[in-house]
Structure 1
């Protein structure tokens, strides 16, 4: 493990593989910005924006993540949700916290020290972001995939994290990933209880976490206590290439052409990436809701959509 004093996130960097799920340790649980009073203040600043979502906890693993806000709304304010989280029967997402200057410093505090270790094997880090989840006991974050590498860190309470390999097409098809990258549509990412048997399962408490590669399907269940979690996400040159290939494959699929799955033929991947780059530069990255803006304009920090 990396034990440098300035490093708050520890992985086994000697064996780090950006495409392999791994356990994580961290020293962020006592950070002042991750305590309930500061999260209430951040929630108030984000109130009324797309950076704050609150949901009731009736959604299960099989809920469509895209529709959770519409189908399972929580009418309480961010302050009321956090202050009464033990009995709120709800969960709250503070998204793109790097848009807040104070929390951008937290994202940098966590990510800057480990960037050299990551870039040694996965260069080109960009599009940093922070996501904070505050949840009542016995709450489920539905089964879904994400468009960046992610480091989930448990701050308070416990969670059971179910995560599947990024190339497990029995759990999430290649075409589902194509559609997700091109249109940010999770409609083809479907839950099945049988998936639990194929999952990597981590029970995480304060100081613990999980590294998850891009589009690794995952689902999370909180324990008997309220939970606070922060996830740091980022893109790299490799994730950008991966996403671009999926974008073009989705276009081919819609034109009736069955594309070669991403990663199966290196030469095809190279040609696909070159074609997708030209296409994105000329026409953008899909329809509404938008695909990841970093495909068109990489930036140091993620841009809220």
Structure 2
């Protein structure tokens, strides 16, 4: 294993605010275009989606590969990525041996950083994603079910990140439904941009995107963009996730009585009680049905 990040990270900011720091992966052979051209075709097709390079922040990012195809094969997309206005997303490239040491190093280092923060003794559900995109391609506005560290390997981009737990940015019911694995989309409108924190993102930069923070990306015009994301849950975000699932499952039932569940992320004791109650709630409804 090797050290992925420079020392001195402000670990107290994890999942509170977005912030940048430096990574040490620019020379990793698996992350070059040559390395990717060799490894990606060897991955299962289910791990890779690709589409046109998107230009509308309101597009449903989860369905872009279904609704905005580029008409090319994967190999053609890789070979022409500089000029074909395309976007490639690779889920779990750790299935290929070229990425396994990198994955293990990221997992060990993020575990230690979380322990230093005091928010978690472990990380859960760690996953790696790769994103390869043509110049000027966009990643539409969306939010994730995980904490995220995004590492820029090649090219540049502007990344706009929005505060989490803000219902005026991501509506509470949308966030809760998404965390309960429903197919919903956070609505985008240009007025939201006033709340964005924007980062000029270049090779060697890492950005921490807090849990459920809305964000979008605009790639620079000068080169293909290669970036690597490492997603994970923590003890804290698992508590938030389960509390949101609890809220989503009771919301319609209690609203009939004029009651609205309190939003998650503002009281750790209430969130903890909901997270602990979720298995009991699920069991009661299974019995009732």
Q: CA RMSD in A?
A: 2.1
The alpha-carbon deviation at position 76 of structure 1 amounts to 1.9
The alpha-carbon deviation at position 282 of structure 1 amounts to 8.2
The alpha-carbon deviation at position 164 of structure 1 amounts to 0.5
Paired residues for 1:238-277 under 5 Å: 238-257=236-255, 258-277=260-279
**Cα contact 2:179–2:244 (8 A) shared by 1:** yes
The alpha-carbon deviation at position 265 of structure 1 amounts to 3.6
Equivalences, count: 278
Question: Relative to structure 2, which stretch is displaced further, 132-141 or 58-67?
Answer: 58-67
Q: Could you say which residue in structure 2 is the equivalent of 1:48?
A: 45
Q: Normalization by structure 1: what TM-score?
A: 0.85
Residues 41-93 of structure 1: CA distance to partner in whole angstroms, max 9, x if unpaired?
Answer: 232123532x1000102441110122212210123222221221110110100
Answering whether residue 72 of structure 2 is matched by residue 70 of structure 1, we say no
Change (3 A) 1:104 1:7: same
Q: Distance in 2 between matches of 1:113 and 1:268?
A: 31
Q: Could you say which residue in structure 1 is the equivalent of 2:130?
A: 132
Q: Could you say which residue in structure 2 is the equivalent of 1:116?
A: 112
**Cα contact 1:11–1:23 (8 A) shared by 2:** no
**Cα contact 1:97–1:129 (8 A) shared by 2:** no
**Cα contact 2:147–2:209 (8 A) shared by 1:** yes
SS of 1:209 mapped into structure 2: strand
Q: Normalization by structure 2: what TM-score?
A: 0.89
Question: Relative to structure 2, which stretch is displaced further, 216-225 or 80-89?
Answer: 80-89
Gaps of 5+ in 2: none
Q: Could you say which residue in structure 1 is the equivalent of 2:139?
A: 141
Larger radius of gyration: 2
SS of 2:13 mapped into structure 1: coil
